[in-house]
């Protein structure tokens, strides 16, 4: 993938590294593509992907709502000018005091996936709409979100029926198929489970009205991905197949798809070395690593395109690592990354498609390194 002219011009100014630059025009284009693909869905941007005020302002003006994971994120969303009724508190793990704080700010849409969380909501958010998250396998996702979040459908049924007698409104069901999901058909099984839940609750006298289909829409890294249109078609087919002509209100929670390909990290090579005279691979140490914002390189799960400005140079395989005094700060050792053989300390590299989940993963001061700066243009 190539950078936009705006990003290329920005990188040419040679600011101190590392930093990420995000093209807001690409963010806006990604929003429109998603809206075209799933026109029936309300878009709730996942603030955790990149909460830069300029991004939130851009999306708010386009009509986006916001999925938040904390009171701080709720406040960020409110500062963009959206009303509280366009904010979902989508984290299933919340302090009761944070539920109360969100409620005091006007938020009335909350996620849960357990009896204990439902009790907190009933006490701190009376009359609020609540939706229960169900488990998914995450199979086919580069960054699965299974096991920690959600409950099985049988438990969700019990919880949603119980919610009706606890002073909150059982509003719907949610799921997340896993981040960077490259199979457009992955939503089908979860939609089927959700439709079963809707019918079961209706039989018990509880009317559900909303299906939150989560995120999972990918951005392009080193390999091609399906078009947004193919995701939209698969989702539309799944809804028709399992809900028929009674499709409920639909919500989606994009994060990576919205901002991933809009950002590029500018990084400087700090050191190029070998571990022995016979070592066949060079170690290339950058001024950014796992603790500087590249946490998703864990297990080499997310593989960002990395580009050198040196043209025509012979390349060879390298091991890429960050600058900190932690042996876990190795980015890529198994993946096939190749960089110019004449690469030296002081050279710059571009780590592309890094608009999502980089600034928010950046440590505050591990080893004294400053958090990753973000420029929006």
Q: What would the pLDDT profile of 89-103 be if each residue is shown by its tens digit? A: 999 999 999 999 999
Which band of pLDDT confidence, cut at 50, 70 and 90, is reported for residue 145? Answer: low
Largest CA distance in the chain: 74
DSSP state, residue 178: -
Q: Over pLDDT 90: what percentage of the chain?
A: 92
Task: Report whether pLDDT(115) > 80.
Answer: yes
Residue 312: per-residue pLDDT: 76
CA distance linking residue 89 with residue 78, whole number of Å: 13
Helices (H), the chain: 5-11, 24-37, 53-62, 71-79, 96-104, 115-124, 153-163, 187-203, 228-243, 256-259
Prediction pTM value? 0.95
pLDDT band at 280 (very low <50, low <70, confident <90, very high): confident
Tens-place pLDDT, residues 348-372: 999 999 999 999 999 999 999 999 9
pLDDT given at position 310: 87
Q: Is 214 left (phi over 0), alpha (psi -120 to 50) or beta?
A: left
- What confidence category does residue 176 fall into, taking pLDDT thresholds of 50, 70 and 90? very high
pLDDT tier for residue 247 given thresholds of 50, 70 and 90: very high
Give the integer Cα–Cα distance in Å for 373 and 377. 13
CA 242 to chain centre: 27
Query: What pLDDT sits at residue 169?
Result: 98
Q: Is the per-residue pLDDT at 59 higher than 80? A: yes
Return the SS3 of 375.
Answer: strand
The pLDDT, as a whole number, for residue 136 is: 86
Given a contact cutoff of 8 angstroms between Cβ atoms, the answer to whether 371 and 363 are in contact is yes
Q: Residues 288, 370: contact at Cβ < 8 Å?
A: no
36 forms beta bridges with none
Our CA dihedral for 1, 264, 143, 259, rounded to 10 degrees, sits at -90
Residues annotated as catalytic (active site), given as ranges: 325
Instruction: Tell me: pLDDT of 242 over 80.
Output: yes
H helices of 164-227, where? 187-203
Mean pLDDT of the chain: 95
Question: Do the Cβ atoms of 110 and 128 come closer than 8 Å?
Answer: yes
| CA dist., res. 309 & res. 141, Å (int) | 31
Q: How confident is the model at residue 279 (pLDDT cuts 50, 70, 90)?
A: confident
Question: Looking at residues 133-155, what average pLDDT do you find?
Answer: 80
pLDDT of residue 311: 80
Q: How far apart are CA 350 and CA 361, in angstroms?
A: 19
pLDDT value, residue 98: 98
Angle value at C-alpha 112, between 235 and 151, nearest 5 degrees: 70
- The pLDDT confidence band at residue 249, using thresholds 50, 70 and 90, is very high
Q: What does the alpha-carbon distance between residue 208 and residue 246 come to, in Å, rounded to a whole number? A: 11
Question: Residue 17: pLDDT band by 50, 70, 90 thresholds?
Answer: very high
Look at residue 316 and tell me whether its pLDDT is greater than 80: yes
pLDDT at 146 over 70: no
Q: Residues 296, 143: contact at Cβ < 8 Å?
A: yes
Average pLDDT over residues 121-134: 98
Q: What is the pLDDT of residue 211?
A: 98
């Amino acid at each position: 993938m190539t950078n936009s002219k705006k990003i290329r011009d920005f990188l040419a100014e040679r600011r101190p590294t590392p930093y990420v630059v995000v093209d807001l025009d690409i963010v806006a284009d990604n929003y429109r593509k998603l809206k075209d693909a799933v026109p029936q869905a309300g878009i709730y941007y996942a603030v955790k992907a990149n909460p830069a005020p300029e991004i939130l302002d851009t999306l708010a003006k386009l009509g986006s709502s916001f999925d938040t994971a904390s009171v701080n994120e709720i406040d960020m969303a409110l500062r963009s000018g959206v009303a509280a009724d366009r904010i979902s508190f989508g984290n299933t793990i919340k302090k009761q005091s944070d539920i109360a704080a969100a409620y005091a700010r006007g938020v009335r849409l909350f996620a849960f996936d357990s009896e204990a969380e439902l009790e907190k909501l009933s006490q701190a958010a009376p009359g609020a709409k609540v939706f229960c998250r169900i488990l998914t396998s995450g199979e086919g996702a580069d960054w699965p979100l299974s096991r920690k979040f959600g409950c099985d459908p049988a438990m969700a049924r019990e919880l949603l029926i119980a919610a009706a007698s606890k002073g909150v409104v059982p509003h719907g069901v949610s799921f997340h198929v896993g981040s960077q999901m490259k199979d457009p058909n992955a939503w089908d099984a979860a939609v089927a489970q959700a439709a079963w839940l809707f019918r079961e609750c209706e039989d018990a006298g509880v009317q559900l009205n909303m299906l939150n289909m989560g995120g999972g829409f990918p951005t392009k890294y080193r390999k091609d991905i399906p078009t947004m249109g193919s995701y939209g078609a698969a989702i539309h087919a799944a809804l028709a197949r399992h809900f028929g002509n009674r499709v409920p209100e639909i919500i989606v929670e994009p994060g990576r798809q919205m901002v991933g390909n809009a950002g590029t990290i500018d990084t400087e090579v700090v050191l190029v070395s070998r571990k022995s005279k016979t070592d066949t691979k060079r170690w290339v140490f950058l001024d950014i690593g796992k603790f500087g914002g590249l946490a998703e390189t864990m297990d080499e799960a997310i593989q960002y395109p990395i580009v050198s400005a040196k043209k025509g140079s012979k390349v060879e395989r390298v091991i890429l690592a960050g600058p900190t005094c932690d042996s876990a700060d190795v980015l890529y050792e198994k993946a096939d990354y190749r960089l110019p053989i004449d690469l030296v300390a002081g050279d710059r590299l571009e780590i592309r498609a890094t608009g999502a989940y980089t600034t928010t993963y950046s440590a505050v001061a591990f080893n004294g390194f400053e958090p990753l700066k973000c420029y929006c243009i």
